[in-house]
A and B are shown apart, each in its own frame.
Chain A
Amino acid sequence: MFEPRYFKKLGLEDISHKVAEGERLTISDGERLFACPDMNAIGSLAHQVRTRLHGNTAYYIVNRHINYSNICVNGCRFCAFSRKKGDPLSFELSEQEILDKICASGNGLREIHIVGGCHPDLPLSFFEDLVRKIRVIKPDAFIKAFTAVEIAHFAKKEGTSVIDILARLKSAGVQMLPGGGAEVFSARVRERLCPEKLDGNGWLDVMRQAHETGIRTNATMLYGHIETVRERLDHMAALRELQDRTGGFVCFIPLTFQPANTGLSHLPPTTGVDDLKTIAVSRLMLDNIEHIKAYWVMLSVKLAQAALFFGADDFDGTVVEEKIGHMAGAESQQGMTRREIERTIRAAGLEPVERDSLFRKVFRRPASEGRLSSSPDAVWLEND
């Protein structure tokens, strides 16, 4: 990290001291970091924390996204993916179509990420059956499925409690919840952009119950639309507070708002500086969340690589097929290969480490480079 004198010149000496000592930053510290014009200083601070936690490692996962349907009862203005039932651009994958996609994913798959819209008709039993079948086909792959928003929607639709839904999905084989649907928690923003959606407290409450049920989750923040810097920081502070109580969040994912084809298409896209500052400040504020993701689908591969020096330690994964960001104009490719990801990380001078959903290191047998045996004990997990 840069010397204290350098941060003093920028008026950030106290913050750099807190960072060096591992002390918690306040919201006003966060505001000062966002206001700092020196990207190398911000990067250097975030990189110090990232390096303390993860050394030279940059994680990635061999995963596949499944967007089961874009039919959604909510009409969030920032979304280019959602369609009403009957819309010619709506789609709904059958169970067989989903299983076929997963079967086509080869042997090395470590995670299946399943999210969709809040579908008006699909019963919970559809998802329970689906998850059970996936469990049989891919016993090695983590099933990370259904955002807090979908969980609350299932509860409402089934006329039961969130905890009941979580318990049923867990027993069917869901091992983790993705962090989507958090957007920004600010009531002001949600009222304007997604009034029908589960509110911020509701989102946090689903996550708390998931953590208490033994289901770990990720957390996201959709930034770069109409929210203020303060609202981003309040969002981070709310996550930090819940994490202090539950410890259930694995990874924080700042999601870049993509304006094309949304109800906010008049807004300009975020800039690289804003993206990297948001990642860096996340790393510095979220002292109790171990991992920060540079989600290349939204950032572009090039900027995501640079983000590994601005606080991010995870490059996400192979993804294979992605609809939500791409329907909103994300210009990144659909998927990346392991080789591409490893090369991108190495070209940054960092060490790629393949992980599972909980960030345990995956070892592959050298003889079967690039594939895992289907027998579960062929995968050795660190910390197990």
Chain B
Amino acid sequence: MIDNGRLNIDQAWDLYRSADFHTLGRMAHEVRLKKHSSSLKKHSSSLKRHSLSLENRSQSLEKHFEPVVTYIVDRNINYSNVCVCGCRFCAFFRPPGHSESFVLSRKELSEKIEETLRLGGTQVLLQGGLHPDLPLSFYEEMLSFIKSNYPIHIHGFSPPEIVFFSRLEGIGTAEVISRLRVAGLDSIPGGGAEILVDSVRRRVSPRKCSSAEWLAVMEEAHSQGLRTTATMMFGHEEAPRDRLLHLFALRDLQDRTAGFTAFIPWAFQPQNTAIPREPETAVSYLRLLAISRLVLDNFDNIQASWVTMGPKVAQLALFFGANDFGSTMIEENVVAAAGVHFRLSSEEIDRIIQSAGFQARRRTMTYELL
């Protein structure tokens, strides 16, 4: 059905709404296997250059072909929960001056990074809120401090933060990105995308950057050579078709820049937020994941979210289009604030991936296998 070219939005809508559950899963899984058998071959040819016993190694990779499922060992560091954005779906933020608000000290930051390195981590995801009083220089200094002390990849500052910094400083987002990059930023996480449809954003996150601004930050980052991810948070006040509009907006941008490394859909977790709603179910999550894999033909990687769906459903997601298990998340605060606590060690992640019939591999932010 999709061998004849890419899906248009009406075809995608038909599939999303009407395809039976197993067929949708199978279609997504077939696309995923095709993509990742070729990337494994690429990897085995790179092994050829580096390994002495490479002939045997690459042959055995071909012969006992097990598709790879990747994950990263990293930690979320939320440098602050102070935020003036006040999104209705968020249980994490605190307004300035609130008794539970915080900004991490250098010492706390160091401890968290050192623990990450001790646990074999290679990356930190550095995100906060929209803090009204911290100048851009604060973040530049934080990045320089980390980079000059620790050998770690910094995946940091989602587009809403970058747009906010630019307003606060009265400079363009291109300059913000460039200054952060010079200070040590390695890549940008895809958070704050929520649903890239402005009528939805106006309802659930009226003070957050617009869809066009979110996409423009990513386009600028890609043009400056920073890779980024893209997310979607679904299951709040959007209409089902808005989810597809979101996917197509990402696909269009990826056609121009090829800068996204992965797409990560998350189900909205309603507890402790201002949007009373039942959480998304496993089946609705898996359908969304599968249609994402089918629409985003120019994305190499789709992540399963065990943090929101639990390890069992995330394992099943490996048959519905996902080829990546996300991160060990040594620390995670945002979903936890919404009352959802799952914890997995890298050993457990390996076991879950392997027992589903895949080869478990650690990776970097750009999906190089470690």
A302-B310, A306-B313, A306-B316 as given contacts; A347 in contact with B281, CB under 8 Å: yes
Residue B282 contacts which of A6, A273, A274, A306 (CB distance < 8 angstroms)? A306
- Say yes or no: is A356 at the interface (Cβ < 8 Å to chain B): no
Residue A271 contacts which of B26, B284, B352 (CB distance < 8 angstroms)? B352
A40-B22, A44-B22, A347-B283 as given contacts; A273 in contact with B313, CB under 8 Å: no
A37-B357, A39-B319, A276-B316 as given contacts; A305 in contact with B26, CB under 8 Å: no
CB distance from A266 to the nearest CB of B (A): 13
Interface 0/1 of A1-40, CB less than 8 Å to B = 0100010000000000000000000000000000001111
A271-B352, A271-B356 as given contacts; A306 in contact with B22, CB under 8 Å: no
Residue B281 contacts which of A6, A43, A268, A302 (CB distance < 8 angstroms)? A302
Residue A272 contacts which of B26, B278, B316, B348 (CB distance < 8 angstroms)? B316
How far apart are the CA atoms of A38 and B357 in the complex, in Å? 9
Measured CB to CB, the nearest residue on chain A to B21 is A309
- Say yes or no: is A303 at the interface (Cβ < 8 Å to chain B): yes
- Say yes or no: is A288 at the interface (Cβ < 8 Å to chain B): no
CB distance from B201 to the nearest CB of A (A): 25
- Say yes or no: is A334 at the interface (Cβ < 8 Å to chain B): no
Q: Which residues of B contact A300 (CB under 8 A)?
A: 310, 312
How far apart are the CA atoms of A39 and B357 in the complex, in Å? 10
Q: Which residues of B contact A37 (CB under 8 A)?
A: 356-357
- Say yes or no: is B86 at the interface (Cβ < 8 Å to chain A): no
CB distance from A258 to the nearest CB of B (A): 13
Measured CB to CB, the nearest residue on chain A to B267 is A302
Residue A344 contacts which of B21, B25, B281, B357 (CB distance < 8 angstroms)? B281
Interface 0/1 of B270-309, CB less than 8 Å to A = 0000000010111110100000000000000000000001
- Say yes or no: is B131 at the interface (Cβ < 8 Å to chain A): no
> B355 near A273 (CB under 8 angstroms)?
yes
- Say yes or no: is A348 at the interface (Cβ < 8 Å to chain B): yes
CB distance from B237 to the nearest CB of A (A): 17
- Say yes or no: is A376 at the interface (Cβ < 8 Å to chain B): no
A271-B312, A273-B356, A306-B313 as given contacts; A43 in contact with B22, CB under 8 Å: yes
- Say yes or no: is A371 at the interface (Cβ < 8 Å to chain B): no
Q: Which residues of A contact B280 (CB under 8 A)?
A: 347
A39-B316, A272-B315 as given contacts; A305 in contact with B282, CB under 8 Å: yes
> B310 near A40 (CB under 8 angstroms)?
no
> B355 near A274 (CB under 8 angstroms)?
yes
- Say yes or no: is A349 at the interface (Cβ < 8 Å to chain B): yes
Q: How many A-B residue pairs have CB under 8 A?
A: 87
CB distance from A341 to the nearest CB of B (A): 12
Residue A273 contacts which of B25, B26, B309, B316 (CB distance < 8 angstroms)? B316
- Say yes or no: is B311 at the interface (Cβ < 8 Å to chain A): yes
Interface 0/1 of B318-334, CB less than 8 Å to A = 01000000000000000
CB distance from B17 to the nearest CB of A (A): 10
How far apart are the CA atoms of A103 and B281 in the complex, in Å? 32
CB distance from A299 to the nearest CB of B (A): 8
CB distance from B336 to the nearest CB of A (A): 15
CB distance from B282 to the nearest CB of A (A): 4
> B22 near A2 (CB under 8 angstroms)?
yes
- Say yes or no: is B29 at the interface (Cβ < 8 Å to chain A): yes
> B312 near A303 (CB under 8 angstroms)?
yes
- Say yes or no: is A275 at the interface (Cβ < 8 Å to chain B): yes
How far apart are the CA atoms of A303 and B285 in the complex, in Å? 12
Residue A348 contacts which of B278, B281, B357 (CB distance < 8 angstroms)? B281
Q: Which residues of A contact B313 (CB under 8 A)?
A: 272, 302-303, 306
Measured CB to CB, the nearest residue on chain B to A270 is B312
Measured CB to CB, the nearest residue on chain A to B352 is A271
Q: Which residues of A contact B29 (CB under 8 A)?
A: 38, 40
Q: Which residues of A contact B202 (CB under 8 A)?
A: none
Residue A40 contacts which of B25, B281, B284 (CB distance < 8 angstroms)? B25
- Say yes or no: is A343 at the interface (Cβ < 8 Å to chain B): yes
> B355 near A40 (CB under 8 angstroms)?
no
Where chain A touches its partner, the secondary structure class is helix
Number of residues on chain A facing chain B (CB within 8 A): 31
Q: Which residues of A contact B355 (CB under 8 A)?
A: 271, 273-274
> A268 near B348 (CB under 8 angstroms)?
yes
- Say yes or no: is B351 at the interface (Cβ < 8 Å to chain A): yes
Q: Which A246-269 residues have a C-beta within 8 angstroms of B? A: 268
> B286 near A47 (CB under 8 angstroms)?
no
Number of residues on chain B facing chain A (CB within 8 A): 28
Q: Which residues of A contact B311 (CB under 8 A)?
A: 271-272
Measured CB to CB, the nearest residue on chain B to A256 is B312
Interface centre among B25, B283, B286, B355 (most CB of A within 10 A): B283
Q: Which residues of B contact A273 (CB under 8 A)?
A: 315-316, 355-357
How far apart are the CA atoms of A344 and B286 in the complex, in Å? 14
> B26 near A275 (CB under 8 angstroms)?
no
Interface 0/1 of A282-323, CB less than 8 Å to B = 000000000000000001101101101100000000000000
A37-B357, A303-B282, A305-B282 as given contacts; A275 in contact with B22, CB under 8 Å: no
How far apart are the CA atoms of A38 and B67 in the complex, in Å? 12
CB distance from A254 to the nearest CB of B (A): 14
Interface 0/1 of A24-68, CB less than 8 Å to B = 000000000000011111011001000000000000000000000
Q: Which residues of A contact B309 (CB under 8 A)?
A: 302
How far apart are the CA atoms of A299 and B21 in the complex, in Å? 20
CB distance from B239 to the nearest CB of A (A): 16
Q: Which residues of B contact A347 (CB under 8 A)?
A: 280-281, 283-284
Measured CB to CB, the nearest residue on chain A to B284 is A347
Measured CB to CB, the nearest residue on chain A to B66 is A37
Q: Which residues of B contact A344 (CB under 8 A)?
A: 281
25 interchain pairs (CB within 8 A)? A39-B356, A40-B22, A40-B29, A41-B26, A43-B21, A44-B26, A271-B312, A271-B315, A271-B352, A271-B355, A273-B315, A273-B316, A273-B355, A273-B357, A275-B312, A299-B312, A300-B312, A303-B316, A305-B282, A306-B313, A306-B316, A309-B21, A344-B281, A347-B281, A349-B21
Which residues of B approach A to under 8 Å, CB–CB? 21-23, 25-26, 29, 278, 280-284, 286, 309-316, 319, 348, 351-352, 355-357
Can you name 6 extra interface pairs (CB under 8 A) apart from A273-B356, A303-B282, A303-B310? A2-B26, A43-B22, A273-B315, A300-B312, A303-B312, A303-B313
